[in-house]
Amino acid sequence: MGVTHAVVKEAWEKVQAELERTIGEQNFHLYLKNTLIVQLNPDIAEIGVPNLTIADFVEDRFANDIMASIERVQGYRPATLKFSINGHLFRRLRERERANRDERPVDPAPEAPRTTPRREPIPRRRLNAQVFNLNPRYRLDNFVVGPSNKLAFNCAVEVATRPGRTYNPMFIYGGCGLGKTHLLQGIANALLQRHENLHTLYVSAEYFVNQYVQALTSNAIEQFRARFRNLDVLIVDDIHFLRGKEKSQEELLHTLAALETQGKQIVLASDLHPKELEEFKQSLQSRFVQGMVAQLNTPQFDTRLALIKSKLGPHRERFPDGVVSFLAEKLDCNIRELEGYLTQLSALAAMTGDKLSLPLVQQALTDFLAHRRRLVELSDIENVVIAHFGVTSEQLHGRVRKRNIAIARQVCMYLARQLTQHSLKEIGRFFGGKNHTTVVFAEQKITSAIEEDPELKATVNRLSRQLNAPETA
């Protein structure tokens, strides 16, 4: 290693000291101590880390801090920041893990959460017919069942066993991250495996619409129809995408009718109950409810416990029982988020090379939750409110006092108070240069209006869900 590298190493040590100061000693020791510098110049900062999980994690959380520290120490901000896996660090972490794991056998790799478990062989011929790459992780046999999803799961199993016989159409609905896509693709994967001769197709509603529009413009509607009507099983995800798209809805209606008269299976999923879908043809809504409608709910404690245990897989041993039940208690969110937290915590465990202690997990969780709140932006709130109330951005930011505009504005402020950490002043400034008393008033107004008006309450909760946040009202 030449002189230049010695210089780089010394610079990196200064950057590390600076980082330790900015992100705090504990964070630094957990996340950034076991790193080394590969290159450092105005074009690139390349940092060696022990494994991919850590690379992703550090990049997500500390990329900005790293760049800022380099800038303060070196006087420039590298054009790119890159993480590479370093063999030496990798082995060192492995050894430490092995030492900590006593007599247990060595598990394959620290970045285990990225490796997919058993990959089910999907027959080639059918795979070619698939538009979407079905996720091999989405299977019925690894779907964790509890009161929140039991009905939907049982129906899915029935459909996958006897397609076209019992529940037709089968309609699954529920909020974001609760397992709709997992169930739908689980059905598709099972069918492709067990009923190889059946022609099964899984698509998103968006794909259906795009294909339809393309077929119309290229005069290929016959081919389009031949494709979607000569199936044994049609599975369409995210039906809510069809909102307000009248012609596509009409086409889907005919597609479903054509399939049903031949006794073919249809499976659909959406974020809302068919009757709650706005700007949908009534005839389509009626068809949706003709078969079986099953809801997916947020899982309760026992199911969360089972989910966590199942999702941790090989990382389970790093999570003492007390930590697992603490997590099941705290993480009353959707399952996608729950997986996100578990991945981060597994990364944390991989970094410390040891079992996670309860205080550490408590601190990490507080930290994650703080990050999550900041994820909702004022402009996101604005967008969902505009879509729901049918007002324009201009009206929202303006001073017009028309009733529906005023309510839309107040709902914005209310949501901003619940879901972001912006100050009253910032919220007021964003929504039309109001002063902070207006924001306080709006918050109080909506809080009390919700008590008396179940419709408003449902609206506010739905908007929160769209923003991927827990219900607020």
Residues near ligand ADP, by CB under 6 A: 138, 143-144, 149, 174, 176-182, 307, 335-336, 339
126 vs 180, beta carbon nearer Mg ion = 180
Strand ranges (DSSP E) for 271-427?
Answer: 292-296
Spatial strand order of the sheet with 265-270 comes to 200-204, 233-237, 265-270, 170-174, 292-296
The pair of structure tokens assigned to 290 is 């003709």
Q: How far is CA 340 from CA 39, 127, 140, 175, 357, in A?
A: 31, 29, 21, 17, 19
Q: How far is the CB of 116 from ligand ADP (least distance, A)?
A: 11
Bridge partners for 114 per DSSP:
none
The angle formed by the CA atoms of residues 298, 314 and 363, to the nearest 5 degrees, is: 60
179 vs 353, beta carbon nearer ligand ADP = 179
CA-atom Rg of the chain in angstroms: 26
Residues binding Mg ion: what is the number (CB under 5 A)?
Answer: 2
8 vs 183, beta carbon nearer Mg ion = 183
Q: Of Mg ion, ligand ADP, none, which one sits near residue 211, judging by CB under 5 to 8 A according to partner kind?
A: none
Q: How far is the CB of 171 from ligand ADP (least distance, A)?
A: 13
Q: How far is the CB of 454 from ligand ADP (least distance, A)?
A: 25
Contacts 24+ apart (CB under 8 A), 182-185: 182/138, 182/143, 183/138, 183/140, 183/143, 183/149, 183/152, 183/153, 183/156, 183/269, 183/296, 184/138, 184/235, 184/237, 184/267, 184/269, 185/134, 185/135, 185/138
Signed CA dihedral, 328, 329, 333, 337: sign only: negative
Task: Pick out residues in 23-82 that bind Mg ion (CB under 5 A).
Answer: none
Q: Of ligand ADP, Mg ion, none, which one sits near residue 336, judging by CB under 5 to 8 A according to partner kind?
A: ligand ADP
71 vs 339, beta carbon nearer ligand ADP = 339
62 vs 171, beta carbon nearer Mg ion = 171
Q: Is 211 in the site for Mg ion (CB under 5 A)?
A: no
Residue 32 DSSP label:
I
Strands 265-270 and 170-174: parallel
Q: Of ligand ADP, Mg ion, none, which one sits near residue 167, judging by CB under 5 to 8 A according to partner kind?
A: none
Q: How far is the CB of 237 from Mg ion (least distance, A)?
A: 6
Q: Are 299 and 202 in contact (CB under 8 A)?
A: no
Q: Of ligand ADP, Mg ion, none, which one sits near residue 179, judging by CB under 5 to 8 A according to partner kind?
A: ligand ADP
Q: How far is the CB of 149 from ligand ADP (least distance, A)?
A: 5
340 vs 432, beta carbon nearer ligand ADP = 340
The pair of structure tokens assigned to 124 is 């080639």
Q: Of ligand ADP, Mg ion, none, which one sits near residue 144, judging by CB under 5 to 8 A according to partner kind?
A: ligand ADP
Task: Pick out residues in 163-182 that bind Mg ion (CB under 5 A).
Answer: 180-181
Q: How far is the CB of 181 from Mg ion (least distance, A)?
A: 3
173 vs 389, beta carbon nearer ligand ADP = 173
Which amino acid, one-letter code, is at 312? L
Q: Of Mg ion, ligand ADP, none, which one sits near residue 149, judging by CB under 5 to 8 A according to partner kind?
A: ligand ADP
Q: Are 93 and 47 in contact (CB under 8 A)?
A: no
Q: Of ligand ADP, Mg ion, none, which one sits near residue 178, judging by CB under 5 to 8 A according to partner kind?
A: ligand ADP
126 vs 180, beta carbon nearer ligand ADP = 180
Q: How far is the CB of 304 from ligand ADP (least distance, A)?
A: 10
Q: What is the binding site for Mg ion (CB under 5 A)?
A: 180-181
